[in-house]
Amino acid sequence: MSAEPSSTSVVVADGQSKSAKKPKYSRFSQQELHAWQPILTPSWAISIFTVIGILFIPVGLASMFASDSVVEVPFRYDEECLPPDRKNDAVAYIKDDKANKTCNKILTVKNKMTAPVYVYYQLDNFYQNHRRYVKSRDDKQLRSKASENDVSTCSPEDYTPNDMGHKPIVPCGLIAWSMFNDTYKLSSNNKELVINKKNIAWKSDQDGKFGSDVYPKNFQVGGLIGGARLNESIPLSEQEDLIVWMRTAALPTFRKLYGKIETDIEDNEEVMLVIENNYNTYEFGARKSIVLSTTAWVGGRNHFLGMAYILIGGISLLLAVGFLLLYVMQPRPLGDPSFLSWNRNPGSLR
């Protein structure tokens, strides 16, 4: 006896047979999987909106209370730190290397600040998100010593001037070149408030974006100095001020972490602030501030999250009440075909 062929014969239009394999059967390929399609009934819609409102409003209120518990002391100093006789020529003053840039101010902390107290610098009207500025860096160069000559995306801060050997700059680009270089010292009751600058950068940035074998070279050696200088004996992965600055901000007003104070500051305590006012924001109309702040479980002082939760919760409760009133005042059976448009107005189909 001959064995049956594994394929089936199919008769085509011209009378000839054609061999075709039968497809393997599965519930998935034949679209026979079990399915469940929920029907959004009025009771379900009312219940869902009610639950959202009940959950979101307390979370929003808790976020608002937590944000209010944050103690924040901002101080704008770009104008305060200008000598009276240099207020009309601020740009010339900030560019004058011989001018005294030290500024002494007193801050009064009205509410107790529990450690850690975070020290931020804030810049307003500084567009770090400008396309040319954001692209003016080379991530390969920042990660590996072998790529220190990769400066093709860093113009105009790619090489030193020709009279200085035309050597590649490490780190190259406008972002690193314009690094913030104001410095702060704080004291209270004749005792220095030490600012800890360790662990202020994201660990993922330190480990993954900045190499431990990459050292600054030929940085800020040209005729036009943009901002801070870097220690050429310290690898980029340990220069946390640079790492913080290189994480560009999305908005023109932003804060960046300068350091942390590990001691409490009592209420009504006066803090002596010594500022080295070096960073040139006067030429393009930006503003500089120092901010002392505590944190809560929601982060710093920001009411947006709490307001968003309360708003969504309130809208959900209003929708739940509206649907409930509509359901009570104008009830109708679910799935009644008499409510279909062509049944309510049969003549409309002609």
User: Which residue is it, tokens 């790529």?
Assistant: 147
Tell me: pLDDT of 108 over 60. yes
Which band of pLDDT confidence, cut at 50, 70 and 90, is reported for residue 15?
low
Average pLDDT over residues 90-106: 93
Secondary element (H or E) of residue 20: strand 17-20
* Residue range 189-204, pLDDT digits in tens: 989 999 999 999 999 9
Q: How confident is the model at residue 141 (pLDDT cuts 50, 70, 90)?
A: very high
Whether residue 235 is predicted with pLDDT greater than 90 in this model: the reply is yes
Q: Which residue has the tokens 């050997």?
A: 165
- pLDDT tens digit sequence for 181-191: 999 999 999 89
pLDDT at 101: 94
255/38 Cα distance (integer angstroms): 47
- Give residue 119's pLDDT: 98
The answer to which of 53-67, 228-242, 335-349 has the lowest mean pLDDT is: 335-349
> How confident is the model over 170-178, as a mean pLDDT?
95
Mean pLDDT of the chain: 90
Q: What is the pLDDT of residue 79?
A: 94
- Give the model's pLDDT for residue 221: 87
154-173 pLDDT per residue, tens: 988 999 887 788 899 999 99
Q: Which amino acid is at 263?
A: T
* Domain coordinates in residue numbering, the chain: 42-70+296-329, 72-294
**What is the pLDDT confidence band of residue 306, given thresholds at 50, 70 and 90?**
very high
pLDDT tens, residue by residue, 38-87 = 888 888 999 999 999 999 999 999 999 999 999 999 999 999 999 999 98
Instruction: Classify 115 in phi/psi space as left (phi over 0), alpha (psi -120 to 50) or beta.
Output: beta
Burial class (CB in 10 A: 0-12, 13-18, 19+), 204: exposed
Segment 233-247 mean pLDDT: 96
